């Protein structure tokens, strides 16, 4: 009997090993390399235009907070001066006073249009970090073939690249095969009311884009160094956005006679408990597909895990959880971002409040997240309420859609040896408002490992700017094929 059991276990083990090795070796193929093109020379005027745009501080501070409208209007005046053919041949209209929608009619209006998106508002430069910048934050300086300045990577270079490509094509007498719309938002860094108004207008006009292309993913060499090739993270979906208020109301008093627990104590303990446990992981199909496409270039052990997710998924997840960026791809993230309480050093405050920001995986809802927060905090004295409007995190764009394939093809052409893969954008973009009525919403720019994004010394290599202009030129010229 024992021999039979041992024999059965041996056969089962050999069968398991055989299946694992079969899947691994079947999976282990070369990652294809497609020919790229030499990028056209970058005219000096293009760099001048980008640097001039950076010098205008189009800052948004927060939803509902006032902005310097003079700077935003000055930006549009500059665009009209820099791109006369665009403003001669394309129509445009304003939304919420400061956002614009441009329309470039194509030869075949019966074809569904494409939408190219960008935003020109920027986040503020923190006063505490201003001295750490090595250049003036709004100087638009060119140093070592790199353009510096707040907003160059997020997202003025994209807007300028779209207009540069369009101006060049108009000078050549070009007309696209299908209609194009350019949606340029003025408040993406807050809530995106401008883009929301544009999307509402297009929906009311029954304009149904076949593709919407916005910021989101980028090209990276840093995140997959073992591949020794650039990887284009073409986001086909994005996480939802929701903030929650956690509030404690507890009698305060004089600091010389503190109670056993204060409002701050209760809230702090709740936040610690909330951060001690993460929401359960979920590996989305598009993340599985991403690993399928990069897997052949990884080590044998990594290929084995990717080729046999039914057996090694938890091992793969354990590796992803070690890095904050990859961890965000497989679960809804929850983190306190603002804590407020107290007004004087000798007064125990009666109210303590925290704002907790969450980025929600597609397939999960704000109610799911609220349920988790309440359960994890587990204290009725901490009142949990929704503090923001929920973002739509709809289904991913199909990888065989015309839009995705066009972006993938354009990426091959502008980046040597690139490996394009589907990706999940963990940040929110204005394109979310177009999701309900568009066939494919893609979030990608062919910039490489952005530096200083929302931080110190934000910058973009001239080579990236040149690549972006040519990328958009390909999108515009090949959209009818």
Rounded Cα distance between 27 and 291, Å, is: 11
Rounded Cα distance between 387 and 366, Å, is: 11
3-state DSSP call for residue 293? Answer: helix
HSE-up of residue 184 (Cα within 13 Å, Cβ side)? 27
8 A C-beta contact, residue 364 and residue 358: no
Active site residue 430: no
Q: How many other C-beta atoms lie within 10 A of the C-beta of residue 190? A: 17
Residue 339 main-chain phi, psi, to 5 deg:
-125, 130
8 A C-beta contact, residue 121 and residue 155: no
- Beta strand spans in 20-159 (E): 91-95, 99-104, 114-119, 142-143, 146-148
3-state DSSP call for residue 22? Answer: helix
Rounded Cα distance between 214 and 439, Å, is: 14
Bridge partners of residue 353, in order along the sequence: 247, 340
Rounded Cα distance between 161 and 121, Å, is: 16
The active-site residue out of 167, 179, 187, 188 is 188
CA dihedral (385, 388, 390, 396) positive or negative: negative
Beta strand 146-148 with 142-143 is antiparallel
Active site residue 121: yes
The active-site residue out of 121, 238, 408, 458 is 121
3-state DSSP call for residue 448? Answer: strand
Both structure tokens of 15: 């069968």
Bridge partners of residue 339, in order along the sequence: 354
Residue by residue, DSSP assigns 320-345 as: HTTSHHHHTTSS-EEEEEEEEE-SST
Beta strand 211-220 with 441-448 is parallel
Cα 226 off chain centre by: 24
Both structure tokens of 451: 């530096």
8 A C-beta contact, residue 182 and residue 101: yes
Beta strand 347-348 with 253-254 is antiparallel
Rounded Cα distance between 76 and 358, Å, is: 34
Rounded Cα distance between 350 and 266, Å, is: 11
Q: Which residues are catalytic?
A: 121, 188
């Amino acid at each position: 009997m024992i021999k039979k059991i041992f024999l059965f276990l041996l056969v089962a083990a050999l069968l398991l090993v055989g299946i694992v090795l079969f899947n691994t070796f079947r999976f282990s193929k070369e990652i294809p390399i497609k020919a790229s093109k030499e990028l056209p020379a970058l005219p000096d005027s293009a760099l001048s235009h980008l640097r001039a745009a950076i010098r205008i501080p189009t800052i948004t501070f927060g939803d509902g907070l006032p902005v310097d409208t003079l700077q935003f209007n000055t930006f549009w005046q500059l665009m009209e001066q820099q791109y006369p053919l665009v403003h001669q041949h394309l129509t445009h209209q304003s939304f919420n006073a400061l956002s614009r929608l441009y329309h470039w009619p194509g030869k075949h209006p019966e074809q569904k249009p494409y939408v190219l998106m960008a935003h020109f508002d920027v986040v503020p430069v923190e006063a505490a970090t201003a001295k750490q910048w090595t250049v003036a934050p709004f100087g638009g300086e060119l140093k070592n073939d790199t353009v510096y300045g707040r907003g160059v990577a997020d997202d003025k270079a994209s807007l300028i690249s779209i207009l540069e490509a369009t101006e060049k094509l108009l000078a050549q007498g070009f007309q696209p095969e299908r209609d194009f719309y350019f949606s340029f938002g003025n408040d993406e860094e807050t809530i995106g009311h401008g883009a929301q108004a544009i999307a509402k207008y297009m929906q009311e006009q029954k304009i149904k884009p076949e593709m919407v292309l916005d910021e989101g993913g980028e090209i990276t060499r840093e995140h997959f160094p073992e591949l020794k090739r650039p990887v284009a993270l073409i986001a086909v979906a994005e996480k939802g956005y929701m903030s929650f208020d956690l509030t404690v109301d507890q009698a305060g008093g004089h600091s010389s006679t503190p109670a056993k627990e204060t409002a701050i104590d209760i809230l702090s303990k709740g936040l610690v408990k909330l951060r001690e446990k993460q929401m359960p992981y979920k590996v989305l199909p598009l993340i599985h597909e991403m690993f399928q496409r990069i897997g052949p270039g990884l080590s044998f052990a990594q290929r084995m895990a990717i080729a046999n997710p039914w057996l090694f998924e938890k091992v793969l997840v354990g590796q992803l959880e070690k890095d904050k960026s990859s961890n965000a791809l497989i679960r809804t993230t929850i983190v306190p971002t603002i804590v407020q309480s107290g007004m004087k050093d000798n007064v125990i405050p009666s109210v303590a409040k925290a704002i907790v920001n969450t980025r929600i995986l597609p397939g999960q809802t704000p109610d799911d997240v609220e349920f988790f927060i309440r359960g994890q905090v587990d204290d009725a004295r901490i009142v949990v309420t929704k503090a923001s409007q929920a973002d739509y995190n709809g289904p991913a764009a199909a990888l065989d859609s015309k839009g995705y394939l066009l972006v993938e093809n354009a990426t091959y052409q502008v980046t040597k040896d690139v490996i394009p893969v589907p990706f999940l954008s963990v940040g929110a973009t204005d394109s979310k408002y177009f999701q309900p009525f568009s066939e494919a919403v893609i979030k990608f720019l062919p910039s490489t490992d952005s530096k200083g994004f929302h931080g110190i010394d934000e910058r973009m290599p001239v080579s990236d700017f040149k690549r972006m202009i040519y990328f958009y030129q390909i999108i515009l010229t090949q959209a009818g094929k």
